[in-house]
Structure 1
Amino acid sequence: MTSLNAQAGPSRMGWIDFLRGLAVLLVVSTHAVSILIGAEKLPQVTGDRLLEINRLFWPFRMAVLVLLSGLFVDRSYAKGLPGYLLRRVRYVLWPYVIWSFLMIFRGAGWDPATMVSIIWRPYSTLWFLYYLFAFYVLYLVVRKIPAPLVAAASLVASFVVPSVATMPRFLYLFAFFMIGCWLSQNLSVALGILRRPIVIALTFVPTAIAAWAASQGLLPLYDLRVAPFALAGLAFAIGAAQWLRPGILYSLFAYVGRHSIIYYVTHPLILIYLVMLMSALDVPTSSWWYPIALASYVIAATLISLVSDRVGAVHALFVMPVFTRKNWRRSPMSAKQQTAQR
């Protein structure tokens, strides 16, 4: 989720930003419901229904994020190994460390032992960035092996390894990362196939079945048996997204996708402090708190992203600064400018 935006020649493929932004907001939606339920700010019936709705997307949202990240890893590596590693450190590892420290400090104060432990045990929701950085490093080891073979082996391994340190989840998602690498090798052909109406219709059926089963709690997460349904869902999403035309909602999701790191890493603290404010004000339980919390988060994260584009100190919370004689006086790059460097 490094906001690497695809290009087909000179034109941007905006559907990538759209899908990334949609997936991030779906993750935030689930966490918002969970936090509000934990704080007893939602009626039980409303909370249960909202969780059921959010579970519709559980088989697909994290898989699409890692697949989109894998789409451009070959292109990034082609720019040279030093630059490849530096970009991974600046755009993935750095925000993981900074925001892990901030979240730990909020919860436990200055706790060096917990802060050091993020090296081997990812903290809270930031496990995704931890995984993503590991995927980029692991890619260097397996990049000469055919990507479909690596993906298949990773899926099988996810099913047979012991459930230690969330290894099944790690291996399952790494398979989708490698599927993204494989798609990138024939991206134009793949996109042409996936956008055909007949393919969209055919992939919709298993997607709908998986979504319903997940909403009823019938599907295990990150499981080999779910992978075919997840792949169908991703094929459906990529195919259908190519038919979308820009509008207000499309632009909102695409903006979130271009600033996905900011929207992802800030959401736990924004939601936690919002619920703390509710508790301090002793607000009554209401179904309205879910849309209010989600809208407040979007507004807050958007304001942060706008400030980040203009204020170096804020920008440094999300992207590791690199000072040179040429750029140390310059203002932060916009998301589009950063994309050109990645």
Structure 2
Amino acid sequence: MPAPQNTAVTPMPTTQRFTWMDTMRGLAIVLVILRHGSTTLIEYQIFPTIWFQALQDVLVPFRMPALMLLSGLLLDRALKKNLGQYTLGKMQNLLWPYVIWAAIFLGVSNGGEQYLEPMAWVSTSYLWFIFFLMIYFAIAPFIKFLPAWVPVLAAWIGSWFEPYAASLLGQLLYFAGWFFLGQLASRHWDLVNRLLRPTPAIIAAVLAAFGAYFSLTYPARIEYRVEIVPFAIAGIIAAITLVRAIPDARTGWIRFIGRTSLVWYVAHIPIMLVTRRILVMAGVENFWIHYIAGCTMAFLGSWVLARLFQRGAPFSWLFKAPWPKPKARTTA
């Protein structure tokens, strides 16, 4: 009689740092900055050429979902802390920089005229990603008893009936599916590793190409809809497989961006807006000058801030609350 097979689920190791995650996050942040290099010009009626806009649209279904999934991969690791440590950590690393940079953004964009408007602080412009993460981390401790697939399915079913473009709720639901998909993936790491192999990755890349084509053909209808999710998952699988194959010796600079991704994410738009305003005041209207200058200053300024952040206080207070970490509880 054959021995029974071991069907135990293998979770992602919680004591190991995966360098490919830093690389993947860094690449996503670079793509976000390059995307915003053109979208921040819309209010000045400066538009890119059709082919360049199409090139940007191709990546829309993959970029932010990948960032959200990577955040969800680390959810179970965070949930191992007691509720006090968990809550204080999220206030320190998410709520604090959100408030600081929402204030900076509102000040730069309209001179602070909206400071007294409560809704201006809700999912503020590009900071929606941080705002959504705060909500997901807030509800995660209260639904951790559920099977990991339940919040993923519930979120995307809700997103089907409340599409992304319809409301803030629709956007929350769509990206909640990606966040909790990351948690689900972290609990089935053996399956993930089987998917991150050359043959499955090639098949996934072909599927992702179809998704990119649909996104390019119908960008306003399908870029953040449930219909595109399978193709986006395929694209992310292919991208992770490729990134994992790159030696760490060649990814040091991009891993630095990934490790300090919060700094780059919150800082790049205000830097771009200041650059835009200076160029407009100088009478510059050429798209490429604006785009290259905006992206260059965003990368340079974010790099300086990331280096200063690593030096600690007082520079780190822009991105992390200054109160100390709570002492870990010990048992006799």
- TM-score normalized by structure 1? 0.84
SS of match in other structure, 2:145:
coil
In structure 1, list runs of 5 or more residues that go unmatched. Answer: 1-6, 327-342
Distance in 2 of aligned mates of 1:34 and 1:164:
20
Matches within 5 A, 1:167-178: 167-178=169-180
Deviation at 1:309, TM superposition (A): 1.8
Percent of counterpart pairs with the same letter? 25
Distance in 2 of aligned mates of 1:191 and 1:131:
25
Q: 1:295 to 1:112 in 2, by over 3 A?
A: closer
Whether the 8 Å CA contact 2:103–2:115 is kept in 1: the answer is: no
SS of match in other structure, 2:158:
helix
SS of match in other structure, 1:79:
coil
The superposition leaves residues 23-64 of structure 1 with CA deviations (integer Å, 9 ceiling, x where unpaired) of 1221221211122354355xx5x4332221111111011111
Whether the 8 Å CA contact 2:151–2:177 is kept in 1: the answer is: yes
Residue of 2, 7, 13 corresponding to 2:18: 13
Whether the 8 Å CA contact 2:309–2:316 is kept in 1: the answer is: yes
Distance in 2 of aligned mates of 1:214 and 1:224:
12
- TM-score normalized by structure 2? 0.86
Residue of 102, 105, 110 corresponding to 1:103: 105
**Which residue is 1:113 aligned to?**
116
**Which residue is 1:47 aligned to?**
49
Residue of 69, 75, 93 corresponding to 1:67: 69
Distance in 2 of aligned mates of 1:276 and 1:252:
29
**Which residue is 1:265 aligned to?**
266
Query: Which contiguous aligned blocks of 4+ residues in structure 1 show a shift greater than 6 angstroms?
Result: none
**Which residue is 1:339 aligned to?**
none
SS of match in other structure, 1:21:
helix
Deviation at 1:75, TM superposition (A): 1.3
**Which residue is 1:209 aligned to?**
210
**Which residue is 2:187 aligned to?**
185
Residue 22 (str. 1) matches residue 27 (str. 2): yes
**Which residue is 1:129 aligned to?**
130
Distance in 1 of aligned mates of 2:30 and 2:53:
14
Q: Residue 95 of structure 2 aligns to which amino acid in structure 1?
A: L
Whether the 8 Å CA contact 1:71–1:181 is kept in 2: the answer is: yes
SS of match in other structure, 1:182:
helix
Paired residue total: 313
Q: Residue 174 of structure 1 aligns to which amino acid in structure 2?
A: A
Distance in 2 of aligned mates of 1:216 and 1:322:
49
Residue 274 (str. 1) matches residue 279 (str. 2): no
In structure 2, list runs of 5 or more residues that go unmatched. Answer: 1-11, 328-332
Q: Which moved more, 1:9-18 or 1:299-308?
A: 9-18
Whether the 8 Å CA contact 1:168–1:222 is kept in 2: the answer is: no
Deviation at 1:215, TM superposition (A): 2.6
SS of match in other structure, 2:222:
coil
Q: Residue 217 of structure 1 aligns to which amino acid in structure 2?
A: Y
Q: 1:135 to 1:325 in 2, by over 3 A?
A: closer
Deviation at 1:150, TM superposition (A): 1.7
**Which residue is 1:196 aligned to?**
197
**Which residue is 1:241 aligned to?**
243
The superposition leaves residues 201-240 of structure 1 with CA deviations (integer Å, 9 ceiling, x where unpaired) of 1100111111122233345232111111111112222222
Distance in 1 of aligned mates of 2:116 and 2:290:
36
Deviation at 1:126, TM superposition (A): 0.7
